[in-house]
A = this chain, B = another copy of it.
Amino acid sequence: MATDIKAIPVPALKRLPSYLRFLKKLAGTGRDVVSCTHIAQDLRLDSTQVRKDLELTGITGRPRIGYIVSELITAIEEFLGWNNCRDAFLVGAGSLGAALIGYTGFRDYGLNIVAAFDADTRKVGALVHDVEVLPVSKLPELAERMHIHVGIITVPADAAQEAADLLVSGGILAIWNFAPAHITAPEGVIVENVHLSSSLAVLTARLTETQRVEK
């Protein structure tokens, strides 16, 4: 097999967006060259780690000088696939769904939510931040016709698997799941979970720990 390239480490992938943010801020100030040390200092990371992470994107720097800021921004964006926008469907037009639709920052991440779907007929037809809410029954056909590859799930936990199945039946290739539920999808379909409970667990466990120690 020719595809014997090493898998991209997830922790590295998760750090790239913060580099991008920093670099864009830097570009705004007119700086056109940056070193790993500089990035690492701002983000409180190890400079070797930053260098290895940047290496993933295929960029090369110059000893003594560093990296060209604009080149680096382009390299990261291309590596993440953020350089050209992807259209996405969202299932579950509740308050979280509305918040995601309303967040304009996703454009920077190459994501564009073009339609929302809801099982609740009372929500169908409404406009959420200029995005129309459609009945879930229309999803599979529309996804196929519009060549949508990304689906976002913002339904309650007990409807999450159903929403996932719906997206899969429409030929979606990647699911961004915000529902507090474990969902399964066929081999080949990417599932990325945003489990707020996991994040909160880290926070509360640490807090409980420090408060236990202090007493």
Contacts and interface: CB of A to CB of B under 8 A. Distances in A.
A38 interface: no
A18 B102 CA distance: 29
A210 interface: yes
A208 B17 contact: no
A1 to B, nearest CB: 11
Contacts of A103: 95-96
A58 to B, nearest CB: 13
Interface stretch (A60-68, A161-169, A188-196): A188-196
Contact of A109 (B14, B80, B204): B204
| Copies of this chain assembled into the complex | 2
Interface in A111-157: 111, 149-150, 157
A29 interface: no
Interface of A: 3, 8, 10, 13-18, 21-22, 42-44, 79-82, 86, 94-96, 98-99, 102-103, 105-106, 109-111, 149-150, 157, 173-174, 176, 180-182, 184, 188, 190, 192-210, 213
